[in-house]
Amino acid sequence: MQSSGANSMERVRSEREAGFTDVHCHCLPGLDDGPPDVPSALALCRALAADRIRTVVATPHQLGRYDGLYDAGTIRQAVTQLNGLLGEAQIPVRVLPGADVRIDERIDDLVQSDRVLTVADNRRYLLLELPHEVFIDPEMLLARLGPAGLCGVITHPERHMFLAERPEYVRRWASYRPCLQLTAGSFLGGFGRRSERAAWAFLQESLPLVVATDAHDTAGRAPCMTDAYHLLSRYLGRDGADILCIENPRRLVAGEDLAMLSLGMGES
C-alpha cells in the first residue's frame, strides 16, 4: 500500500516536471471559432508550450451551430496535419483528437456512428457543452450515456449563468458521476467575478473535477494553466492542484477512472 502510494507520488512528480495535459482547447486552424488559419494555430500552440502544456486535446465545437459543418474524420485529419506542422516548427506540443460537443438528444447515437468525437478518441469521456443562453438540464442525456459506456464531462459550468448561481444543482447528477471541467482562467478572474466565485464553489462538490484552458487564441482566450496551477496550489496544496491540473487530465486522455479532490489535503 505504502509503496504504491510512493510510486503514485513519484509518478505525479515526474508528470509535474513533464508538463500539463490540456483536455479542452480550440487549436485547429479554420474549423470553428479557434484560430482562423495555420499561422495563428501555430502561435496558439507556441503559447500552449510556453504555458508548459505538452499534450493538448483539440476540441472544436460539434453540433449546435456547427452541426454538419465537419465530422469526426475531418477533425482527426486536421489533428494529423497540425502535428506534422508542429514537428516541422519544433513546437513541443502533441495534439490529440476530440470535440466540445453541444448537448443534443442524438449524441449517444452519433458517438456510436463515429460522427461525434470523444476525448482523445478514447470512447469513454465526452465533453458536453450546455447552451449559453438557456439552461437545458443534461440529466436525461447523462442517464443515457452510462449504458453506452460513456461518461459526460460538463464543460465550464462556472461560466453558465444558471449553474454559476446554483453550483449545488450538480448534485442532482451525482448518480451518473459526470466530471465537471472548470476553466483555468475562471480561477484567475478572467471570466468575471461570478465565474471566479462559482469556480471555487464547484471545488466543494463531490464530483470528479478537471481543469482545462478552453483556449481559443493568444489574446483574450490565451492558455493560463501554469498561473491557475500555482493559484490552486496556494489554496488547496500541491496534491489538490495536481489532481485538478495534472492527474485527472492525464486520466481523461487515458480513459481511466478519475481521482477525487479531497479538500483539506493541505500544503505539500
Q: Report phi then psi at 53, rounded to 5.
A: -90, 125
214 interacts with Fe ion by CB under 5 A: yes
Distance CA 65, CA 60 (A): 12
Residues 85-144 touching Fe ion, rule: CB under 5 A, are: 100
Q: Which is nearer to Fe ion, 158 or 214 (CB)?
A: 214
CB of 190 to Fe ion, least distance (A): 14
CB of 223 to Fe ion, least distance (A): 12
Backbone torsion region of residue 118, taken as left when φ is above 0, otherwise alpha when ψ lies between -120 and 50, otherwise beta: beta
32 interacts with Fe ion by CB under 5 A: no
CB of 188 to Fe ion, least distance (A): 17
Q: Which is nearer to Fe ion, 213 or 248 (CB)?
A: 213
Q: Which is nearer to Fe ion, 214 or 217 (CB)?
A: 214
Q: Which is nearer to Fe ion, 25 or 150 (CB)?
A: 25
Q: Which is nearer to Fe ion, 12 or 128 (CB)?
A: 128
Opening angle at CA 117, ends 166 and 143, nearest 5: 45
CB of 27 to Fe ion, least distance (A): 11
Q: Quick one: three-class SS letters along 118-176?
A: CHHHCCCEEEEECCCCCCCCCHHHHHHHHHHCCEEEEECHHHCHHHHHCHHHHHHHHHH
- Cα 207 to Cα 21, 140, 261: the distances in Å are 20, 18, 8
CB of 26 to Fe ion, least distance (A): 6
User: Which residues are near Fe ion by CB under 5 A?
Assistant: 100, 214
